Structure 1
Amino acid sequence: MDRRRALLISASGTAVIFAVLLFVVGGRKVLTALRSADPQLVGLVVVAGAGWLSCWGLMLRSILGTLGTPITVLRSLQIYVAVAFANNVTPFGQAGGEPVAAFLISKVTDEPYETGLAGISAVDVLNVVSSVTLILVSVSYYATTTTVAEAVEDAVLSAIGIIVGVGIVLGVGWRYRWSLVSAASRVAAFTASRLVPSSGLDLQIQDRAARFFNHVETIATSPSRLALVLGLSLAGWVLQGVALFIAFQAVGQTVPVAVVLFAVPLGNLAGAAPLPGGLGGIEAAFVAILVPTTGIPAATVTAAVLIHRGVVYWLPVLVGGTVAARFGMSLGRT
């Protein structure tokens, strides 16, 4: 299946989810709430969204600096917003966008592809670590003041279970990385040799893998840089929570800060769905989490979520798409 067809199918899935969501919560009520939104507060949502992008752009700059690829602050922000664009227009969110993002970083910095892949992979992994921390802290605080809804408790436990499972797989994979690389390179070389004459393909694969793993080790063995990027990652998540909090204010509602702080990383887990940037799935997840925890009508919650996601999703798409075009990136060719 080519990339364009995959995008078309995932976009169709997004349209269906939005149609069902608006039918269930009441599309007219959502539209009424959106029309009543305070424009100045919506503007502040944009400011918070820009702050989130800036924090994670600085994360990427710090990580690439650790790998010996110094870039300016402005260039790091340009690269990350283009990376966010790639994540938002490819199915499976970050998982689908990582190869494109790695290609973009390599193209802009003139560094090997393995450097770009190590850099963006480190950003994504550290964002998961900080998101789990934020979920645990905010849910724990929320539980001391309010009875945690069963749906939220199940979502938190499921999220932790998934993340722990992925962590175990990654840990085992890292422990036996060289054996896996050796086996994979032999299979790839054998397959290629059946199609076209090849020479030393297995050694080339092993060399590229070795460079990638060496980059990952470099990042992991820099405690001060790790502390900095984890702080920037956490700040980015908090700013996304602030954006959601202000979005509720814009439609005339106030929600507990702890709720938005765990709702944002929890809802973003739906970004792993085969949808462009999780569009549709994340919105539905937010509504499912926020309605029982806030007691606010579903239509109003949906309106606040659409304002929030209108910034968090569409700001990188519009700005990042422009930057990506300037860098000469084409999703159709990558």
Structure 2
Amino acid sequence: MGLLVGLIGLGIYLRFVGVDAIVGSLRTVSTRRAASLVIVGFVPLFLWGTGLWLVLRQMDAKITLWRAILLFDATGFINSVTPFGQAGGDPVSGLLASRVAPMEYETGFAAIVSLNAINRLASVLLGLVGAGYLLTRVAFSVAIRNAALVGAGIVVVVGVGGVFLWQYRDTIIKWTTRLLDAVFARLWWVPRFEPPERAAIRQRLRRFTAAIEQLGTNRRRLVLVVCLGIAGQLSVGATLWVALRALGADVPLALVLVIIPVAKLSGIAPTPGGLGSASAFLTGLLVTLTAINTTVATAAALLYRAAAFWTPMITGGLALLFLLATPAESATSRLGRGGGSDTRVAFAIAGGVATLLLVVVHLRNVLIEPYSPIVHLLRDGGVAAMGFGALWMGFRLFARHRSNLGDRRK
């Protein structure tokens, strides 16, 4: 129902703007720019997936790096098909994490919530940095000031709220336990449902807070996760920047960083993945904060959403099927069991071929060459990471197949 409502809303909005005009703008995008857009759109998956791996490792979960990246990609798919974005998808993603890396549900849920909170905070902080840069470089704009005030307000509210909740977490656990116990007691009529005891509810809530506490014990790892979150948000901004450049709109990257965190407020919409509302809201921000017209802004919003959300959502659905079909134990890398030399050789080959791929891309001018050094770095990092990831997964599948053949012969 939510998907249907979102599609209807998106159709009405596109018809209001002008479907023919939007299609005409999208046809001006070259193949090279579209390829660059997709590559930059996938960079956050590798960065935030690595951050999730560090968070899970800090919580004593046994999981490989590439499996953590697949897990993060799958959580993106879950967020895209559940209402209210991450608020609706995180509980389900926590359940998936507890299955992929065998651990308590509360621990997996805490890992997902912690990483998403860090990424959102990184987005707002980058937006404030971008707003400060613009206010020192260009004429003072009321729209930019309002966007900066919104971002600052979000930081203050989230910061004060987070500190308050953490300082009084024991009291909140007590109140939440009583509330859930009263709610579950009224569900006695649900078939095959046994209300949990109050002590069990309290124990689960304490395990959730204990997992978050454990994440804060290693400050170096936490700082690294924050840096990965900032780099991922820069990649998201680069995706929107490339989409705008592909349509001929010259918008500073700093202004794009201001737009991104405000645009993410559309995630509270009840449609899956903010379908319909996210594109309309982003279009309104682009028209308000830049000099581009509504048609180009709508086309840029659609390009950005396709590269940053819908294309990764497709791979996230495949990752979810793979994780559900593959038991946790059999998914561990058997390449490493065969000896450290095999792992080092495979790593060297994959890294060498990924570097060669990057050189060929530059020599042949296969993709666009962005004049922004940040976008250029992120684009090149995406090419190298995707090439290395594909080769590494190929080595793992080959090693698993070889190991299975050896077991059958024995």
Structure 2 length-normalised TM: 0.73
Partner of 2:253: 257
What amino acid does structure 1 have at the position aligned with 2:265?
L
Deviation (angstroms), 1:163: 4.3
Higher relative contact order (CA closer than 8 Å, sequence separation 6+): 1
Given the alignment, which residue of 168, 189, 197 partners 1:201?
197
Secondary structure, aligned partner of 2:103 = coil
Aligned residues: 321
> How far apart in 1 are the matches of 2:4 and 2:287?
26
- Once the two structures are overlaid, the 10-residue window that deviates more, 136-145 or 13-22, is 13-22
**Cα gap change, 1:114 to 1:43, in 2 (>3 Å):** same
* Residue 32 (structure 1) aligned with residue 24 (structure 2): yes
Deviation (angstroms), 1:179: 1.9
- Mapped contact 2:73–2:315 kept (Cα < 8 A): yes
Given the alignment, which residue of 50, 55, 75 partners 2:47?
55
Superposed CA deviations along residues 268-318 of structure 1, whole A, max 9, x for unmatched, are: 121122121222222222211212333112211211221111011112221
Two-structure CA RMSD over aligned residues (Å): 2.2
- Mapped contact 1:27–1:299 kept (Cα < 8 A): no
What amino acid does structure 2 have at the position aligned with 1:222?
N
Secondary structure, aligned partner of 1:301 = helix
Partner of 1:127: 119
> How far apart in 1 are the matches of 2:5 and 2:160?
31
Given the alignment, which residue of 38, 41, 55 partners 1:46?
38
Structure 1 length-normalised TM: 0.89
- Mapped contact 1:185–1:201 kept (Cα < 8 A): no
What amino acid does structure 1 have at the position aligned with 2:118?
L
Partner of 1:3: none
Deviation (angstroms), 1:108: 0.7
Given the alignment, which residue of 301, 319, 323 partners 1:323?
319
> How far apart in 2 are the matches of 1:236 and 1:198?
43
What amino acid does structure 2 have at the position aligned with 1:304?
A
* Residue 294 (structure 1) aligned with residue 290 (structure 2): yes
- Mapped contact 1:156–1:266 kept (Cα < 8 A): no
- Mapped contact 1:271–1:279 kept (Cα < 8 A): no
* Residue 213 (structure 1) aligned with residue 209 (structure 2): yes
Partner of 1:87: 79
Partner of 2:96: 104
- Once the two structures are overlaid, the 10-residue window that deviates more, 111-120 or 157-166, is 157-166
Deviation (angstroms), 1:16: 4.2
> How far apart in 2 are the matches of 1:208 and 1:269?
30
**Cα gap change, 1:38 to 1:199, in 2 (>3 Å):** closer
What amino acid does structure 1 have at the position aligned with 2:200?
Q
- Mapped contact 1:60–1:119 kept (Cα < 8 A): yes
- Mapped contact 1:60–1:120 kept (Cα < 8 A): yes
Deviation (angstroms), 1:263: 1.4
Deviation (angstroms), 1:221: 2.6
> How far apart in 2 are the matches of 1:120 and 1:247?
29
Given the alignment, which residue of 134, 137, 162 partners 1:145?
137
Larger Cα-atom Rg: 2
What amino acid does structure 1 have at the position aligned with 2:26?
L
> How far apart in 1 are the matches of 2:140 and 2:83?
32
Q: Percent identity?
A: 33
Given the alignment, which residue of 299, 309, 313 partners 1:313?
309
Deviation (angstroms), 1:229: 0.6
* Residue 22 (structure 1) aligned with residue 14 (structure 2): yes
**Cα gap change, 1:190 to 1:137, in 2 (>3 Å):** closer
Deviation (angstroms), 1:158: 2.8
Instruction: Tell me which stretches of 4 or more aligned residues in structure 1 moved more than 4 Å.
Output: 190-194, 196-200
What amino acid does structure 2 have at the position aligned with 1:50?
F
Superposed CA deviations along residues 90-145 of structure 1, whole A, max 9, x for unmatched, are: 11111110001101101111111011111001111101221121011001111222
